[in-house]
């Protein structure tokens, strides 16, 4: 357990230096540390790790059909990695590197509107443990999260292609991320006619494709996931309601911090920042609401992880020092006092979840040992 706590000051220090010097290179230290810890873990570190190792061995032995539950595309990728080096730790290390790099690199994109140290620490405390368990799904989430930058450039077709490829090669639940495009409905008047047509076409195509998708895909997909809805298993907690209350309260108290005064005429950069703030709140809200499924159906909270990862960005927005020299002294003091209060609350919320997860054996990631 000690290693997880020792990483905290290292992550915070590297993130702070990267933020102050505006150089992503320092965050590669964080990526390297997180990659090594996840990649070199022992075979029993993480509940899902033994199953992954068993399936990787089946693929290495030329029996991919025995690796049940893995997408054909993912089996192909694993086969390629095992051809380079027939070692499961090598495979885990490669997956961990791309997962952590893509997520942290995407978080770096928000550095102008959000605190980098806060975002990275929130990712570590709230999501990093998943790299040692739901390895494949978190890699898919990392890919979608990273390429959500395409939406900021309004490249919707390119993003759809990424979602499809992620569903084929990584995890079928990536398909739910098509709904990311719906966020632009809330920014409709800022879109060009061509972009509006693309969104309308996408919605129409999705409606038409439902019967076809059901015939060719949904049969197997639903049979795989419908079992989770057959029995209700109440698993109530306080963390999710606490986060929802915190979201609503902070949006009410600090609306100007989350959504600064909207300019009458957007420059391209201003539009991207405004869109980033608004889409962050939308995605995070959807993630929290979707996670409620986990209170009633086992494992179904995972359906919201692709959205919930925007929690890191939202918390970063709240703790970003945006005070300007042109602001009055009173406004600067209020802004900075809010940052202090929010930071203290986030330490309690995120820290509580992190500590309780480890004390509860963190789904098998405690105790930690090297392979």
The rounded mean pLDDT for the chain is 81
Q: Which of 147-156, 176-185, 244-253, 261-270 has the lowest mean pLDDT?
A: 261-270
- What's the confidence (pLDDT) of residue 201? 61
pTM: 0.86
Per-residue pLDDT at 322? 61
Chain segment 293-313, per-residue pLDDT in tens: 766 665 566 778 889 999 999
Rounded mean pLDDT, 248-268: 71
Lowest mean pLDDT among 87-91, 195-199, 240-244: 195-199
266 vs 220: which has the higher pLDDT: 266
Kindly indicate the confidence band of residue 212, based on its pLDDT and cuts at 50, 70 and 90.
Answer: very low
As a whole number, mean pLDDT of residues 328-354 equals 75
173 CB-near residues (< 8 Å, 6+ apart): 137, 140, 167, 302, 303, 306
Q: Which two tokens stand for residue 365?
A: 């990631």
Q: Higher confidence at residue 248 or residue 205? A: 248
Least confident of 233-237, 244-248, 322-326: 322-326
> Quick check: 271 pLDDT over 80?
no
Torsion angle in degrees (nearest 10) through CA of 272, 273, 274, 277: 120
Instruction: Tell me the C-alpha distance between 121 and 114, whole Å.
Output: 13
Structure tokens at 271: 């539009």
The answer on pLDDT for 327 being more than 90 is: no
For residue 214, is pLDDT > 50?
Answer: no
Q: Percentage of residues in the chain with pLDDT exceeding 90?
A: 36
φ/ψ of 134, rounded to 5, equals -80, 60
pLDDT tops 80 at residue 317 = yes
Reported confidence tier of residue 225, pLDDT bands at 50, 70, 90: low
Question: Residue 261 and residue 251: Cα distance in Å, rounded?
Answer: 14
More confident residue, 82 or 323: 82
pLDDT beyond 70 at 67: yes
Of residues 370 and 359, more confidently modeled: 370
pLDDT at 104 over 80: yes
Integer angstrom CA distances of residue 79 from 83, 93, 96, 141: 6, 15, 17, 21
**Tens digit of each residue's pLDDT (9 = 90 or more) over 140-184:** 999 999 999 998 887 888 998 999 899 888 888 888 888 887 766
Q: How confident is the model at residue 103 (pLDDT cuts 50, 70, 90)?
A: very high
Task: Specify the pLDDT at position 343.
Answer: 82
Residue 330's Cβ-count burial label (10 Å; 0-12, 13-18, 19+) is exposed
């Amino acid at each position: 357990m000690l290693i997880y706590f020792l990483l905290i000051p290292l992550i915070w220090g590297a993130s702070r230096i990267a933020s102050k010097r505006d150089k992503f290179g320092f965050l590669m230290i964080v990526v390297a540390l997180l990659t090594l810890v996840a990649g070199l873990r022992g075979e029993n570190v993480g509940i899902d790790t033994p199953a992954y190792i068993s399936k990787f061995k089946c693929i290495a032995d030329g029996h991919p059909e025995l690796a049940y539950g893995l997408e054909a595309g993912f089996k192909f990728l694993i086969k390629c990695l095992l051809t380079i080096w027939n070692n499961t730790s090598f495979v885990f290390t490669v997956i961990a590197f791309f997962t952590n790099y893509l997520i942290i690199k995407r978080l770096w994109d928000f550095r102008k509107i959000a605190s980098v140290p806060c975002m990275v620490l929130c990712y570590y405390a709230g999501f990093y443990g998943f790299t040692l368990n739901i390895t494949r799904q978190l890699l898919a989430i990392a890919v979608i999260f990273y390429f959500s930058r395409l939406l900021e450039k309004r490249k919707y077709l390119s993003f759809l292609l990424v979602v499809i490829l992620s569903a084929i090669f990584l995890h079928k639940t990536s398909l739910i991320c098509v709904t990311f495009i719906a966020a632009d409905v809330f920014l409709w008047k800022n879109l060009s006619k061509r972009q509006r047509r693309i969104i309308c076409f996408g919605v129409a195509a999705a409606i038409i494709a439902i019967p076809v998708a059901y015939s060719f895909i949904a049969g197997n997909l639903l049979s795989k996931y419908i079992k989770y809805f057959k029995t209700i298993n109440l698993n109530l907690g306080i963390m999710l309601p606490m986060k929802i209350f915190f979201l609503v309260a902070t949006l009410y108290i600090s609306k100007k911090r989350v959504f600064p005064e909207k300019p009458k005429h957007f420059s391209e950069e201003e539009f991207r920042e405004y869109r980033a703030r608004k889409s962050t709140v939308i995605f995070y809200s959807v993630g929290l609401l979707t996670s409620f499924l986990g209170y009633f159906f086992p494992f179904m909270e995972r359906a919201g992880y692709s959205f919930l990862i925007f929690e890191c960005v939202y918390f970063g927005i709240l703790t970003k020092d945006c005070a300007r020299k042109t602001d009055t002294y009173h406004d600067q003091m209020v802004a900075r006092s809010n940052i202090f209060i929010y930071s203290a609350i986030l330490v309690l919320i995120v820290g509580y979840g992190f500590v309780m997860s480890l004390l509860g054996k963190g789904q098998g990631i405690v105790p930690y040992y090297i392979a």
